[in-house]
Chain A
Amino acid sequence: MSLSSAAVAQRPNTPPIYLDNQSSTPLDPRVLEAMLPYFTEQFGNPHSESHVYGHNAMAAIEAARGEVARLIGADPREIVFTSGATESNNLALKGAAHFARAHPVGDKVRDHLIAMTTEHKCVLESAAALEREGFAVSYLPVEPSGLVSPDRLAAAITDRTLLVSVMAAHNEIGVIQPLDEIGALCRSRGVLFHTDAAQAAGKIPLDVEAMKIDLMSISGHKIYGPKGVGALYVRRRPRVRLLPLIDGGGQERGLRSGTLPTPLCVGLGRAAELARAEMGEEVPRVQQLRDRLYAHLRRRIPDLQVNGELEHRLPGNLNFSVPGIAASALIEACQSVAMSTGSACTSASVEPSYVLRALGLPDDRANASIRLGLGRFTTATEVDFAAEAIAAAVSRLRQAGGAFGAG
């Protein structure tokens, strides 16, 4: 199937095809359905002990907690609800560091953390904040593939190392890290292993036991659940201790105070349940669509360059650069497809992606990088249309020459 540029131009008032599922996923209608009663008739404060409205809300939250736990092979008591993955990442790093400083074991000092250079901003910013407090942080470079080298990681661990943070699947380039190897390494060295799984949870199988993960951050709105909610997995055996970021009423076993938002927790639970139930079919379906999109683009834009390695990658992610065409120009010229440059939170900035530079890519290629994120609701028709629209935009930009600020 092939659409002409004219056909593309004929859709100006229809919504763009949504290929930005790494930035945020649409709420699954089944999740919405599960949430709605807890906005309206079941609105009780889950911490109200004195009446049935409170009890019903808390029962729903506990069921949701169970579903989140099941998605990653955890115990429900190991799940702490937060406002999202950003908060989870902040809590994991700062919480572990602050606890270690407040409660040293013997005379052993644990004041060193390790994170990849390609971590999400919220991990890097948390680490930087800890550096200002006197902690030491090693920023581990990644291979050109985007993967971390376990040997390099092993060499970076010292007897002062408290925690290693490695993103499970990358938000820009989608590469999946060897979590089981990293987990085994960390466990053998007595170091906590935190993974930011905002992009990976619900998309690929994760098991905190098999992968020896101690802390894992999860986001609601990246797995077809609601915005404003996330979770942090905190291992019980051997027990991982944190100091809270947000203190107060002592909810979530003292790790996160604040009234739990019942409908949001229920939504995250339902989203986790659906992701687990459908992962087996969804992974190959989305991957086939991604491969079809890639093949189509490659055919129309032969010099297209894929960023990060393609093999160990989220099924729905594609990140590429078109030589000589700035990403911002392509996005502008192809408004019928919702796509992005880097991660959403930093995409408003004009700096080339620090992630792609960390892979060793030159600035012009980093500046040209486009992220496409396919998801649960992406169809073959949409993929074909998007490929045509992108290819047509590339042709237009190339015909217009350097006027669009390429490079």
Chain B
Amino acid sequence: MTRRETYLDWNATAPLRPETAAAVTAALRDCGNASSVHRWGRAARQRVENAREIVAVLIGADPEGVAFVSGGTEANQLALLGSGRERIIVSAVEHSSVLQALQHAERIPVSADGIVDLGRLEELLASDPRPALVSVMLANNETGAIQPVADVADVAHRHGALFHCDAVQAAGKIPLDIAAIGADLISLSAHKLGGPPGIGALIIGGSVEIAPMIRGGGQEHGRRAGSENLPGVAGFAAAADAARHRLADYERAQTLRDSLEAAVLATAPEAIVIGAATPRLPNTSAIALPGVSAETQVIALDLDGVMVSAGAACSSGKVGPSHVLQAMGAVPEIAGSTIRVSLGWSTTEAEIEHFLEAWTAMYRRVKPHAAAARAA
């Protein structure tokens, strides 16, 4: 019998949607450089421009504003470094690609639920008249917490600041509209919404000028040089289109996620669902089991074929407490014992049951007394 496997790490990366797989495979078989003038090149150019329009629709943007880049990390860096703004103000729970972009970036603190302190942002902007860019993510990759981005946009714009929003985790899971978000710049990544890895976009609002980080042949209206990654953009578009039409799958995922959290809390009342009181992505659950290291938990779950993570899947495997949870004021006991469970459009009830079996077995092993007391 093959090992039962349940993938609940969709915020790290999502499997390709079937629509994407078909588009990517077809484009991989095509040849041609989208910048060449001959027939093959022109056909490639046409496909890149079609993809640009479809990605634009996902977020209600103008296709002209869609600059394809190699992924969410590059999009974030391009937004921050390319804006030319003297002051960069970022929330303390941003992805590392935003936090690391500039050493002198100023931080907006967050509440215990992980929501940015708008009052503090107001103060920061009022205290210094230099041109600023504010970067606040739409939804957090570790907790799923959704920021009040329209309010952030208001505050930023009132002070003449640009607003960049990293929508990498939110895209494809909740409805998105650039006007409603109020952002001047938005980052997207294909592989988080069922597209291929290695492609993303920075959505650039009408009047915003972005200086390129990667220079050369002047592709992407001079914002990002390099031969176009045609299979990447074709796959991105197919995934964006499917995601937009299948948002209802995430309503179902939310029901499953909620039942998972309820079952965990019923088994272990001492467990904590991080950010439960705040609006969250429908698919994300950050669950702390105080006193049990996240590493112990994810290893035990992996041995039972359940794949989750101990936070973001970013870098070098250094297992440290999450900067997101720390910024939310979590004590080390909580921050070090939180796992992230993230569901996707195809997650099934059976997979949630599998998770709960494995999680409960792990819980009984690591906390036999608590489990026994509960059973008694």
Contacts and interface: CB of A to CB of B under 8 A. Distances in A.
Contact of B73 (A258, A335, A340, A343): A258
Given A246-B77, A257-B96, A259-B197, A36 B313 contact: no
A39 B12 contact: no
Interface stretch (B113-121, B261-269, B301-309): B301-309
Interface in A2-61: 15-16, 18, 20, 23-27, 32, 35-36, 39-40, 43-45, 47-54
Contacts of B197: 259-264
Nearest to A327: B37
The contact size tier of chain A is: 35 or more
Interface stretch (B222-230, B280-288, B329-337, B348-356): B222-230
B70 A45 contact: no
Interface stretch (B25-33, B123-131, B248-256): B25-33
Given A23-B33, A24-B31, A49-B319, A338 B39 contact: yes
Contact of B196 (A129, A263, A331, A340): A263
A175 to B, nearest CB: 20
A83 B16 contact: no
Contact of A16 (B39, B96, B198, B230): B39
A103 to B, nearest CB: 15
A247 B101 contact: yes
Nearest to A261: B198
B37 A348 contact: yes
B208 interface: no
A390 to B, nearest CB: 13
A24 B97 contact: no
Q: Most chain-B Cβ atoms within 10 A of its Cβ — which of A50, A54, A84? A: A50
A227 B228 contact: yes
A24 B227 contact: yes
Given A18-B40, A257-B73, A338-B36, A345 B196 contact: no
A338 B40 contact: yes
The contact size tier of chain B is: 35 or more
Interface stretch (B49-57, B153-161, B213-221): B213-221
Majority SS at the chain A contact face: loop
Q: Most chain-B Cβ atoms within 10 A of its Cβ — which of A49, A129, A347? A: A49
Interface stretch (A119-127, A134-142, A152-160, A288-296): A119-127
Given A340-B38, A347-B35, A50 B215 contact: no
A355 to B, nearest CB: 13
Q: Most chain-B Cβ atoms within 10 A of its Cβ — which of A87, A259, A341? A: A259
A226 B230 CA distance: 9
Contacts of B63: none
Contacts of B38: 16, 20, 331, 335, 338-340
Contacts of B76: 248
Nearest to A251: B315
Q: Most chain-A Cβ atoms within 10 A of its Cβ — which of B33, B73, B199, B315? A: B33
A261 B196 contact: yes
Interface string B1-43: 0000001010011111000010011001101110111111100
B314 interface: yes
B9 to A, nearest CB: 6
A23 B39 CA distance: 13
Contacts of A47: 12, 313-315, 317
B207 interface: no
Given A39-B21, A261-B198, A83 B73 contact: no
B298 interface: yes
B214 A245 contact: yes
A249 B101 CA distance: 10
Given A87-B226, A257-B100, A258-B73, A40 B15 contact: yes
Majority SS at the chain B contact face: loop
Given A86-B225, A121-B225, A36 B25 contact: yes
A228 interface: yes
B315 to A, nearest CB: 4
B28 A121 contact: no
A325 to B, nearest CB: 16
Contact of A50 (B35, B189, B299): B299
Nearest to A38: B197
A86 B224 CA distance: 10
B35 A39 contact: no
B231 interface: yes
Nearest to B317: A49
Contacts of A44: 9, 12-13, 307
A345 B216 CA distance: 8
B74 interface: yes
A281 B95 CA distance: 48
Interface in A327-365: 328, 331, 335, 338-341, 343-348
B108 to A, nearest CB: 19
B71 interface: yes
B218 A228 contact: no
A248 B97 contact: yes
A39 B312 CA distance: 21
A164 B14 CA distance: 42
Contacts of A83: 69-70, 74, 198, 214, 226, 229
A35 B191 CA distance: 16
A377 B32 CA distance: 14
Contacts of B216: 86, 89-90, 120-123, 125-126, 345
A73 interface: no
The 10 A-B residue pairs whose C-beta atoms are closest, nearest first, are A345-B217, A122-B216, A261-B198, A228-B229, A248-B97, A249-B314, A83-B70, A51-B307, A86-B226, A125-B215
Given A23-B41, A50-B308, A261-B70, 11 more contacts: A25-B31, A27-B31, A44-B12, A48-B13, A90-B214, A90-B215, A129-B215, A257-B315, A263-B197, A331-B37, A344-B227
13 contacts: A20-B33, A23-B32, A32-B25, A39-B25, A50-B309, A83-B70, A123-B216, A125-B215, A228-B231, A248-B77, A338-B40, A344-B227, A346-B218
